[in-house]
Amino acid sequence: MEPGPVEPLRDSLLDWWESNGRHHIPWKLRPDGFRPGRGEPLDPFGVWVAEVMLQQTQLAVVLPYWHLWMAAFPDLRTLAAASEHDVLMLWQGLGYYARARRLHAGARQLVAAEHLAPAAGGDPWPRTLEGWMALPGIGRSTAASILSSAFDLAHPILDGNVQRVLARLVAHPGPPKRQLPLFWRLSETVLDPQRPRAFNQALMDLGAGVCTPRQPCCGACPWHGRCAAYAAGDPGRFPVKDTTTPIPFQVIGVGVVRDGQGRVLIDQRLQEGLLGGLWEFPGGKQEPGEAIEVTIERELREELAIEVTVEEELITLEHAYSHKRLRFVVHLCQWLAGEPQPLASQQVRWVAPEELASYPFPAANARIIAALQARIVAG
């Protein structure tokens, strides 16, 4: 499917963007706060950090985290020299923590490559898709967005907003994820090669603010006169959704284990998965027909080689990830016997409750910590 003549599409979108675009995004601006001219480079480090943060996360959520990150790690070498603990602490609350670990690893990879083969002028930054995609966690669309944003190079992008806009533009009859080569060609076709940075940002802004998933504002869209989905009378029907499978639901028994000194036991997750390297209160999945108290006793025995008495419930909370929903049933526990061992984690540690804020925890654990602190205050 073809979008028709592309020059009017490009011009109308960029004209709309001049008055309606998100021009406040800090990593898209020069240090003096002004927008860059055509071909003028921006700080690749700030762009790279932002693009990784924006994976799975909306702009409004990312903005304060980006500012904090850039204050703590203002450049590539500072990030490469940082400890993983400091990196994860700064990422805490943003979710999908594997992104932070990949940024950290990527910084070290770039610094090491520059040390082994110094680039001309001390510039470690790739200028190709392949160069960026060689870094951990960088796919084609993220690499293309970095290249177009930082260097104004003509690379098409294909994030979720862009897929939706293009699917509606041509009223594509199938799910975009099943036709990615076609959508990449379509994105490349409409891209303005003379103004790629502005065009790609305009396309994302159109999807974020006008061509939204529900109730698109077609009357405000500069493309509605060329949009096949609008002409069909039902733009909300596009993009066609793929068949979905039910999201698994699990109940997790969690033990807040205390010793005779009032310290609590935490363990550090292995370096794998979305939450790798973070600290947590130990526990595990409830088996069918198993009482939650039995789950907690069993999991602490299997994972830490300790025996506990499971006491009153502290809190129950639910947390949704992209691939599963979890219910955490948290009980206070009293340590009875066994020296804690990291049988399923990197390390275990007894800490005073007031020290918990010094450790990076998954988002769901923040409410557990708050409930524990309230319980201590209440006596």
Q: Which residues are catalytic?
A: 51
How far is Cα 63 from Cα 29, in angstroms, rounded to an integer? 14
**What burial letters (b/e) apply to 123-152, b meaning 16+ CB within 10 Å?**
ebbbeebeebeebebbebbbbbbbbbbbbb
Strand pairing of 325-337 and 249-258? parallel
DSSP string, 219-243: GG-TTTTT-HHHHTT-GGG-SPPPP
User: Residue 218 corresponds to which tokens in the numbers above?
Assistant: 């077609």
Helices (H), the chain: 6-20, 44-53, 59-72, 76-81, 84-91, 98-116, 129-133, 140-151, 160-170, 180-190, 196-209, 228-231, 292-304, 364-378
User: Residue 43 corresponds to which tokens in the numbers above?
Assistant: 């700080």
How far is Cα 299 from Cα 304, in angstroms, rounded to an integer? 8
How far is Cα 78 from Cα 49, in angstroms, rounded to an integer? 13
Residue 272, classed as helix, strand or coil, is coil
How far is Cα 186 from Cα 147, in angstroms, rounded to an integer? 19
Rg for the chain (alpha carbons), in Å?
25
Q: What angle do CA 186, 52, 15 make, to 5 degrees?
A: 45
Phi, psi of 55 (to 5 degrees): -65, 115
SS3 annotation, 288-324: CCCCHHHHHHHHHHHHHCCEEEEEEEEEEEEEECCCC
The amino acid present at 191, given as its one-letter code, is: L
How far is Cα 129 from Cα 155, in angstroms, rounded to an integer? 9
